Structure 1
């Protein structure tokens, strides 16, 4: 059982390493503004998500079976609480792979936060660009600050009375 658990941690680590590679690719396509490239990277992540889901389900099943064999009845036991229950050699291997996996998970979390910030910045830039390109209803040079003091020439829609149909 312990060997299977170690193999699962190894496989999960490899999957997270691939996720980290994809996250770095995402950063590059986001910086370039390459939306088709971003879609492609996200499509390539889909099988990784499925693989990780299967590995996690197998890990949970193995841990539950092992706990039942040992007569331990606990819900939601963490690996930190479980590892000390193994013999020393197996414990060292499990701790090593657990630590490698956690390192990859933290790298992925940091990269995803960076990518999220880059996307938010890109959206802000697009919105600012759209706002700058949209027509303004103010006439600079008339009325000092562009406002219409008497309010008679422009209706609620901002159109001049001279633009209305006769």
Structure 2
């Protein structure tokens, strides 16, 4: 038996990670443009791709274990490195190439997700700052002595949202 099925599943994983990277790039643009509807669509597509990647990885693990069992090796801790001595030269070249490409895509996805996280945090800080500027603070409106209390002070000390509603 060859490692053909493992190679096919690795190729599928690579393709899915490339698609995830494209979606992550689109997400950056949607966040920068403050396009919430597009961002929602991108997140749905990402969720679909993640599920597909999980399924492809499960298939890869299954095929790799089956390959190792057929070759008379243990089925635990099946990695590409553990498969290399058992495959032909051509398959070794393909497996190594796919492994490098997949690692590159995963690293790129990590960087992209970190950038997206930072952009979203910055957007959240901006929203919070905007809300702080829109809601007047009691001490900004007028000053009263700490021991004096009146209705107007109580009015401004309440939250913008009525929690009893």
* Common fold: TM-score over 0.5: yes
CA distance in 1 between partners of 2:11 and 2:45 (Å): 21
Tell me what 1:137 maps to.
Answer: 138
Tell me what 1:163 maps to.
Answer: none
Offset of residue 66 of structure 1: 1.2
Q: 1:101 to 1:130 in 2, by over 3 A?
A: same
Tell me what 2:56 maps to.
Answer: 55
Tell me what 2:154 maps to.
Answer: 159
Match of 1:37, SS state, is helix
CA distance in 2 between partners of 1:11 and 1:150 (Å): 68
- Aligned positions, number: 154
Q: Deviations over 1:40-92 (max 9, x none)?
A: 11122233223212211110111111111122224233323333432332111
Tell me what 2:158 maps to.
Answer: none
TM-score norm. by structure 1 comes to 0.82
* Superposition CA RMSD, Å: 2.2
CA distance in 2 between partners of 1:58 and 1:2 (Å): 13
Q: 1:77 to 1:119 in 2, by over 3 A?
A: same
TM-score norm. by structure 2 comes to 0.82
1:128 aligns with 2:123: no
Match of 1:159, SS state, is helix
Which runs of structure 1 show a deviation greater than 3 angstroms over 4 or more consecutive aligned residues? Answer: none
CA distance in 1 between partners of 2:108 and 2:85 (Å): 26
Offset of residue 149 of structure 1: 4.2
Q: Which runs of 5+ in 2 are unaligned?
A: 156-165
Q: Which runs of 5+ in 1 are unaligned?
A: 161-166
